[in-house]
Amino acid sequence: MTTDPQLDATDRRILRLLQKDSRITNAELAEKANLSPSACHRRVARLEADGIIAAYVALLDARKLGRPTTVYVEITLQSQAEDVLDAFEAAVARVPDLLECHLMAGSADYLLKIMAEDTEDFARIHRQFLSRLPGVRQMQSSFALRTVVKTTALEV
């Protein structure tokens, strides 16, 4: 693990605690991090200002919201020209149910992660949105059968 010299053991402890529960109060965080509340608050503010803490979010249960089907879509474009990449990226950002889009190195140009109700719902998403994306030469979809490991926590 590569460590950032700006982060000491206390910063890392704070980050681990916040990754587990970002709704923890400053007083509780300070106690668990062995700091005074004011020192803890200053450290968290610095971590936020430095962009190490990028955001606080609520993680939703896709199954309970009726979208239990995870689909990964590999997309190969017709060209790597900047205007083609820009047009694709602008259009893909408007696809509903899209959780992630990554520009890739390797056989595919982009990898998308989409949450759908079921295969029929994905067919609708494909028909209405994915098939209309500009510059696409090839698209391959893979359905996740089961999630083995899932985390949002980075090792710090």
Q: Answer yes or no: is pLDDT of 12 > 70.
A: yes
Using alpha carbons, select from 61, 64, 132, 63 the residue that is nearest to residue 96: 132
Task: Dump pLDDT digits (tens) for 57-71.
Answer: 999 999 999 999 999
3-state secondary structure the chain: CCCCCCCCHHHHHHHHHHHHCCCCCHHHHHHHCCCCHHHHHHHHHHHHHCCCCCCCCCCCCCCCCCCCEEEEEEEEECCCCHHHHHHHHHHHCCCCCEEEEEECCCCCCEEEEEEECCHHHHHHHHHHCHHHCCCEEEEEEEECCCCCCCCCCCCC
| Percent above pLDDT 90 for the chain | 96
Does residue 22 lie in a domain region? yes
Residues 3 and 36 occupy one common structural domain: yes
Looking at the fold, whether 110 and 45 belong to one and the same domain comes out as no
Give 10's pLDDT tier (boundaries 50, 70, 90): very high
91 shares its domain with 130: yes
CATH number at residue 124: 3.30.70.920
In-domain check, residue 149:
no
pLDDT tens-place string over residues 101-126: 999 999 999 999 999 999 999 999 99
CATH of the domain at 21: 1.10.10.10
Is 153 within a domain? no
Average pLDDT of the residues in 69-82 = 97
Range of the domain at 13: 1-59
- Of the pLDDT bands very low, low, confident and very high (cuts 50, 70, 90), residue 2 is low
The answer, yes or no, to whether residue 4 has pLDDT greater than 70, is no
- The pLDDT value recorded for residue 5 is 59
Report if residue 90 sits inside a domain: yes
pLDDT of residue 46: 97
Q: What is the pLDDT of residue 6?
A: 85
What pLDDT is stored for residue 64 in this prediction?
97
